[in-house]
């Protein structure tokens, strides 16, 4: 199975939307003709959307959501893929589905795969205070769809390192933070992910960057994704990936053990819950 490359020619947003349409249709056991009948169009039209000669329009996307029971996922994709930010995430989302293991580091925010809807919405709105509601809704839908990987037992192994600043940065208010940290802890207790926290006391050790994700694949070289304000970069150069692995290992060595980290996360979550009740 080929892995998309982190260079020009990587999967475009339109290609991502087409792949999602085909994937959901096949998962539902429908032919193109069968889906066409349910959305009051032809199988040929569905084929044209899947091959890119027809754009996925919001009114068609709404009907598709009704068939697949996907809420308003497709209508949000149809609107949000006009966004450059979603374009940057499209290739990453595809890589995450192909990965066998993902190693994430967050310096100040919970990585996208672990964000709750309320937390993710607060993050998006915080960096886009005047954005239209459709834009925010679209990005939220996109992140939640990515996070479905965690509910698949056959999905990639996820190892996350969080700086303590992630736990202490109040995003969306105490109630949102309590729910977000509880969400992270629930996946740890379900033995679905491994999480470590780098404490403030670690000092300069463990300062890896804003957000770094290293992805491993069964049949392809590792890939690194880094993210900063308004921009994300994918790297598949072996030397660049090797350096990221070295820094990730140093960060992991500076972090608390998984057991102590879980206790800290749950303790901070309890503090936020108490504050929210007050």
Bridge partners (DSSP) of residue 216 are: 101
CATH superfamily of 13-80: lambda repressor-like DNA-binding domains (1.10.260.40)
Band (pLDDT 50/70/90 cuts) for residue 44 is confident
- Looking at the chain, the whole-number percentage of residues with pLDDT higher than 70 is 88
CB 209 within 8 A of CB 107: yes
**88-114+149-277: CATH number:** 3.30.870
CA-CA-CA-CA torsion sign (10, 13, 14, 16)? positive
Q: What is the pLDDT of residue 81?
A: 57
Mean pLDDT of 92-106: 90
Residues of the chain with CATH 3.30.870: 88-114+149-277
Residue 2: Cβ-neighbour burial (10 angstroms; 0-12, 13-18, 19+)? exposed
Q: Considering the entire predicted model, what is its pTM?
A: 0.70
Split at pLDDT 50, 70, 90, the class of 34 is very high
Quick one: pLDDT band at residue 107, thresholds 50, 70, 90? very high
Whether 85 shows a pLDDT value over 70: the answer reads: no
Q: What is the pLDDT averaged over residues 83-109?
A: 79
Q: Which distant-in-sequence residues (6+ apart) come within 8 Å of 98 by Cβ? A: 1, 3, 217, 220
Location of each CATH 1.10.260.40 domain in the chain: 13-80
Output phi, psi for 105, to 5 deg.
-130, 130
Tell me the pLDDT tens digit for each residue of 14-33: 777 888 999 999 999 999 99
Q: Highest mean pLDDT: which of 69-78, 213-222, 259-268?
A: 259-268
């Amino acid at each position: 199975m080929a892995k998309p490359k982190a260079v020009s020619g990587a999967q475009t947003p339109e290609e991502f939307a087409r792949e999602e349409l085909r994937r959901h249709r096949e998962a539902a056991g429908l032919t193109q003709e069968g889906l066409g009948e349910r959305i009051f169009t032809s199988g040929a039209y569905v084929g044209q959307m899947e091959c890119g000669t027809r754009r996925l329009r919001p009114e068609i996307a709404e009907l598709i959501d009704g068939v697949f029971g996907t809420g308003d996922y497709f209508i949000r994709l149809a609107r949000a893929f006009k966004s450059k930010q979603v374009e940057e995430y499209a290739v990453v989302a595809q890589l995450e589905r192909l990965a066998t293991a993902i190693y994430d580091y967050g310096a100040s925010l919970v990585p996208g795969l672990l964000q709750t809807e309320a937390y993710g919405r607060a993050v998006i709105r915080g960096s886009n205070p005047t954005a239209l509601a459709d834009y925010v809704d679209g990005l939220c839908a996109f992140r939640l769809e990515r996070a479905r990987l965690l509910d698949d037992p056959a999905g990639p192994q996820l190892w996350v390192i969080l700086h303590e600043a992630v736990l202490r940065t109040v995003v969306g208010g105490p109630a949102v933070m309590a729910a977000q940290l509880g969400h992270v802890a629930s996946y740890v207790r379900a033995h679905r992910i491994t999480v470590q926290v780098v404490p403030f006391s670690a000092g300069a050790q463990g300062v890896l960057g804003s957000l770094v994700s290293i992805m491993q694949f069964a049949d392809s070289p590792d890939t690194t994704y880094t993210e900063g304000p308004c921009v994300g970069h994918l790297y598949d150069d072996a030397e660049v990936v090797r350096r990221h692995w070295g820094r990730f290992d140093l960060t992991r060595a500076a972090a608390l053990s998984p057991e102590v980290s879980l206790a800290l996360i749950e303790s901070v979550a309890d503090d936020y819950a108490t504050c929210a009740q007050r």
